Structure 1
């Protein structure tokens, strides 16, 4: 990261925003910056300004349509089918870290492609892909990177750290604005994908919060989180 120690805080944030827009930050710095966006409107404005500047370069390059099957191939490499694994992903720390790095790489590549293509003619079109860094809460040590693709209506989770808890399950929650948390389902042990029900698809957008709680085996019996929130983070459009 090319941020000098002697520049002011506002200048530092401007440089970070530019590097974020270009996909130049390290995975850790990128996740930290993304986590700040939901709470710091000024930072989001800096990012929007840099994206607008870089978008002006689009006229100098001929748009190239990526292969239709490209995204599916990336997903296939990052999220191997459960029946092809010898053990569940909870059991392999190396696999956790590899999936997390891969998910962040997809986010960086997708953001870069978005900067290189013209903006949609209709500004009301919602982002169809989101990423969220779910950071550990209250010293839980549990962290995920979550990636949502509207085309498949699925949230894919790449664990960064944490471990399974005997006779307990992790459960994924959607918090839209000030609304109460809504369960998206128990996070499967043998695979890293949670399907999003149709009623929730309209609520899952940029600015929504994804949270993970530790619940009794099988999930919350009440429809609301009963155990501690172990990881939390805002969804960012990519």
Structure 2
């Protein structure tokens, strides 16, 4: 489940991805390792992310932060050297929000880089596909998992934002034109795929009147799109 502000920091799959990316602090890494020691599912999530992101280590060089980064951090610290509990809590909350946002952007960048390096899978696993639906920004608007075997798609909002007094509507666009899938809310949802859904189709999100399109076709601008990739 996701909230309006972005990915859920307690999502086990996202936590495993953060662990592999190295964005967790020491205590959080220890917590993940303790959980993985006694939970085969947790170990499987970590292995899956290592396999997805591992090839990037061979093509992305290590980068040392420039000295100005440390200097900027030192300037940002309180001059007095003291901070009350409220300040510490606020700084921790800010760090957590920054890390979740950076983790989401990093996952997207890593996924796109991996796609460029090794190409898409030509053999889908049981008819399952993944679509990163976005509008040109760094963080995706939606992550959609499509299962052609069951005819169900799982829609996970990440950074989708509807204009005031408008709704966002998700569409499958294939050989028969746009087919409505449902409105995009702030939480994870499940939608039924239309008959004839194929891997070469595209997912799109349009801006519609409150409650969705009154015509069964997009009436407003398309703000996000994404192709289906074998999962």
Task: Tell me which interval the TM-score lies in, with the shorter structure as reference length.
Answer: 0.3 to 0.5
> Normalized against structure 1, the TM-score is what?
0.44
> Normalized against structure 2, the TM-score is what?
0.45
Q: Rg: which structure is higher?
A: 2
